[in-house]
Structure 1
Amino acid sequence: MMKTKNIYISALIGLVLLTACESDDKVVQQVLDGKTSGAVLRERAISGEEDFDIFRDETEFSVTLEEQDEDNGELIDRVDFTISFVDNNKEGATGDDTVDPIAFGTIPASEFTIGDRGLPVADFSFTMAEALETLGVPLTEVLPGDRIQLDFTLFFTDGRSFNANDAAVTVTGGSFFSSPFSYSLLVDDGIAFDYEVTTSDEIDLSDGAINENYQVDISIDDESEGSLIETLNIYRTFRDLTIGEDGTDLSEEEALFETYNIADLDLEEGARILSLDYSLDMIFGDELELEDLSVGDDFQFRYEIITEDGRIVTTDEKDTEYFYTIATSECILLNGDAPFPGEYTVKLTDLYGDGWDGAFIEVTIDGGDPQVFTIETGEESEGTFTVPEGATSLLVTYTNGLWEDEHVYEIIDPNGKKAAVGGPFERDNAAPPVAREVELKVCE
């Protein structure tokens, strides 16, 4: 009985393999046979850039095409190309600059050569400048998100023609045929805008919360040391998303917050550099206070770059390149009943760079021997302490020394968040040393 089953299984596998092979053959026949699907204009290679940007119109796009028909290329007459422009911004002096497809070139059969697979191949290339000149669109009206569309049609000597509208999905999207008959080239902004928040992008509304200044490092690189861009504008919005029962809406519409001249920013490795440091008072503005906020409200900052020729580069959606949000939250304590276990990092700084002048931090776990952290000399020091599982007490104290206005510390919890910060303090060199408890807040 087992032998009979094996015979059935073997026969079934053979039938499946035969069917699969026949299926592949049918796909090829569907593409290469008949009046309406008898040709493939296959993409063999793309060189140059697959996207353009708003500055460098000398950028070139180049594609190598391979033609295949039922007579292995004997039917080809020519390939005609059209170019079009899709304005996805609808801004600027001329409004909507969208241009419908217009003639952009021809490759006659005589310019095809026989490639390494025995089929006709030819190259087609163009620069962004050539495309815009043909379209009649000035470079100053091209913005990020616009597209330049290249379409082509294959003509046979018997009068038949093939383009993207004629090709099936198997042809336009298949890995073997790879014959899209069309390329949509995105226009990028040509600017590397790097944005790094070095503190926190949340405002903690819980009692006794640690809220530092909102600090950001920005790098702007147009590959020309900033000569192609002129201005950085920063816009602020407040959204009251938790309107109370009285219906009072404290939202504030977008308004210009700060402006920077790009040429005035520091230049490092070809990029313009800017460090921002906003206190809560600066973020709140004249009308808001911490007590006005509820969890769920947020502040939005939109960054806008004005190019040297007057174009505007920006985005206006969350988590996009030029748009950032400061959220509100409330700490859920993880160390409310017992010390939170794990490794803590103590970072010390002396703003003058000559040590902590007798000041120190002391850590005691479950009444054991204290661990002391200080800066004997120099500007910075860093150390760690570990709270074991099951610990019942953790005492952290700061003892003052001389020149207290130079001393700064922060303690990082096992989750990588700041559990405590302190300093610089008021200077009183006559004050005696006093150990003051440092409260740690380990939040979820």
Structure 2
Amino acid sequence: MKKMKIQSKIFSILALSSLLFTACEEGNKDIDKIFDETTRGAVLRTISGGNAVFNRFDTSTVWSVELEEQDQENGGLLEKVEVFVNFDDNTPDNGETTTTEALLQTLPASSFTTGPFGLPRVSTSATFQEALDALGLEEGDFDGGDVIEFRMELTLTDGRRFSNDNDSATLNGSFYSSPFFYRGNIKCLPPDPVGGDYVLKLMDSYGDGWDGAKITVNIDGTSTDYTFTSGSEASFTVNVPCGTSTLVMTYVPGNFEGEHTYTITAPTDELAASDGPSPSPGEIALNICKDGPCTMAK
């Protein structure tokens, strides 16, 4: 079965590789077609950043993004980009919080510089506190699990405006990566590790284990790898002693990443993390808002 799987994957890779030489060309045709056939084309391409994690306990944490603007005059029509914020309340336990979208920043054309492809680029950022202030939110209005939404609105010199409501699926889902919209996910990132038992549930949609992927748990400098080599899922209980100084969980990718998902349940019974298919590599941010058993035992 594994051989068939590998053969299938290899066939898919070969099929895809035959398209690689035309992918960029087709992408260029997409945007050229927009610019040639209509006067309504403009793109805000995401170069880096965009989505972020805000620490519920640290309002100095930062959202940032680098953008590249492109229009039929290669940036000559750019007037400004406005950054708006709104709030998505996903935690009804602390009451319902409603907001009206608010203007956070205005980026005039003069704040852009010329990028490596001759198109205007700009980098911008905002702290969690700046977003809260713009929305008029205070302590108690938000919690881990809520989301700060960032919406970009591009204005051209002739007055036309573009945002996520008139963004085409072609540009949003392609190489051009032009969503005009990003999220700052609010998570409770405890200043000190929460002691107790964590439950790691690892899942593979094909049913042949995690193909070399693993979650590494480092407790006060001692690392342990958690993975499985056969079957559809495996669960592990990881005890973090009370008084632990450092706790770092890291996802390390393997092969066939599209098959992998995981969940991590905290000692407080909260869903501390989940990801996949194709989980993000690197350190896993644990969202734990409640007091753990070690705190309650004091």
> TM-score interval w.r.t. the shorter chain?
0.5 to 0.7
**Equivalent residue for 2:45, pick from 39, 42, 45:** 42
- Residues 166 and 197 of structure 1, relative CA distance in 2, 3 Å threshold: closer
Deviation track 1:419-438 (CA, whole Å, cap 9, x = no partner) reads xxxxxxxxxxxxxxxxxxxx
Matched, 1:52 2:54: yes
* Cα distance between partner residues in 1 of 2:196 and 2:172: 38
Give the equivalent residue in structure 2 for 1:375: none
Q: CA deviation at 1:35?
A: 4.2
Q: CA deviation at 1:170?
A: 1.8
SS of the aligned residue for 2:131 comes to helix
One-letter amino acid of the counterpart of residue 42, structure 1:
R
- Residues 267 and 22 of structure 1, relative CA distance in 2, 3 Å threshold: closer
Q: Is the 8 A contact 1:194 1:220 kept in 2?
A: no
* Cα distance between partner residues in 1 of 2:101 and 2:113: 28
Matched, 1:27 2:3: no
Give the equivalent residue in structure 1 for 2:103: 103
**Equivalent residue for 1:62, pick from 49, 54, 64:** 64
Q: CA deviation at 1:173?
A: 2.1
Q: CA deviation at 1:149?
A: 0.1
Q: Is the 8 A contact 2:43 2:69 kept in 1?
A: yes
Matched, 1:268 2:244: yes
Deviation track 1:193-243 (CA, whole Å, cap 9, x = no partner) reads 465489xxxxxxxxxxxxxxxxxxxx999xxxxxxxxxxxxxxxxxxxxxx
SS of the aligned residue for 2:70 comes to strand
Matched, 1:84 2:60: no
- Residues 190 and 158 of structure 1, relative CA distance in 2, 3 Å threshold: same
Q: CA deviation at 1:27?
A: 1.2
Matches within 5 A, 1:267-306: 267-269=243-245, 304=268
One-letter amino acid of the counterpart of residue 49, structure 2:
I
Query: For the aligned residues, what is the CA RMSD?
Result: 3.8
- Residues 130 and 177 of structure 1, relative CA distance in 2, 3 Å threshold: same
* Cα distance between partner residues in 2 of 1:183 and 1:159: 24
Q: Is the 8 A contact 2:86 2:149 kept in 1?
A: yes
One-letter amino acid of the counterpart of residue 150, structure 2:
L
- Residues 31 and 190 of structure 1, relative CA distance in 2, 3 Å threshold: farther
Structure 2 alignment gaps of length 5 or more: 1-18, 200-217, 221-240, 248-264, 273-285, 289-298
One-letter amino acid of the counterpart of residue 185, structure 1:
G
One-letter amino acid of the counterpart of residue 128, structure 1:
F
Q: TM-score, normalised by structure 2?
A: 0.58
SS of the aligned residue for 2:140 comes to helix
- Residues 128 and 302 of structure 1, relative CA distance in 2, 3 Å threshold: closer
SS of the aligned residue for 1:139 comes to coil
Matches within 5 A, 1:327-366: none
The structure with the larger Rg is: 1
Matches within 5 A, 1:206-245: none
Q: CA deviation at 1:117?
A: 1.4
Give the equivalent residue in structure 2 for 1:186: 185
SS of the aligned residue for 1:91 comes to helix
Tell me which of the two structures has the higher relative contact order, counting C-alpha pairs closer than 8 angstroms and 6 or more residues apart.
Answer: 2
Q: CA deviation at 1:315?
A: 5.2
Q: CA deviation at 1:314?
A: 4.0
Percent identity of paired positions between Structure 1 and Structure 2: 34
Q: CA deviation at 1:24?
A: 4.5
SS of the aligned residue for 1:82 comes to strand
**Equivalent residue for 1:71, pick from 54, 70, 73:** 73
* Cα distance between partner residues in 1 of 2:151 and 2:20: 38
Give the equivalent residue in structure 2 for 1:364: none
One-letter amino acid of the counterpart of residue 66, structure 2:
T
* Cα distance between partner residues in 2 of 1:105 and 1:20: 35
Q: CA deviation at 1:99?
A: 1.5
- Residues 34 and 157 of structure 1, relative CA distance in 2, 3 Å threshold: farther
SS of the aligned residue for 1:30 comes to helix
Q: CA deviation at 1:142?
A: 1.7
Q: Is the 8 A contact 1:37 1:167 kept in 2?
A: no
Q: Is the 8 A contact 2:85 2:135 kept in 1?
A: yes
Q: Is the 8 A contact 2:188 2:287 kept in 1?
A: no
One-letter amino acid of the counterpart of residue 179, structure 2:
P
Deviation track 1:41-83 (CA, whole Å, cap 9, x = no partner) reads 1111228x81112101100111111111111000001011110
Q: Is the 8 A contact 1:78 1:108 kept in 2?
A: yes
One-letter amino acid of the counterpart of residue 91, structure 1:
D
Structure 1 alignment gaps of length 5 or more: 1-15, 199-218, 222-264, 272-300, 305-312, 323-444
Matched, 1:147 2:147: yes
SS of the aligned residue for 1:141 comes to coil
One-letter amino acid of the counterpart of residue 30, structure 1:
K
Q: Is the 8 A contact 1:51 1:186 kept in 2?
A: yes
* Cα distance between partner residues in 2 of 1:142 and 1:61: 17
- Residues 127 and 74 of structure 1, relative CA distance in 2, 3 Å threshold: same
* Cα distance between partner residues in 2 of 1:188 and 1:58: 13
Q: Is the 8 A contact 1:84 1:99 kept in 2?
A: yes
- List, as ranges, runs of 4+ consecutive aligned residues in structure 1 with deviation greater than 6 Å: 16-22
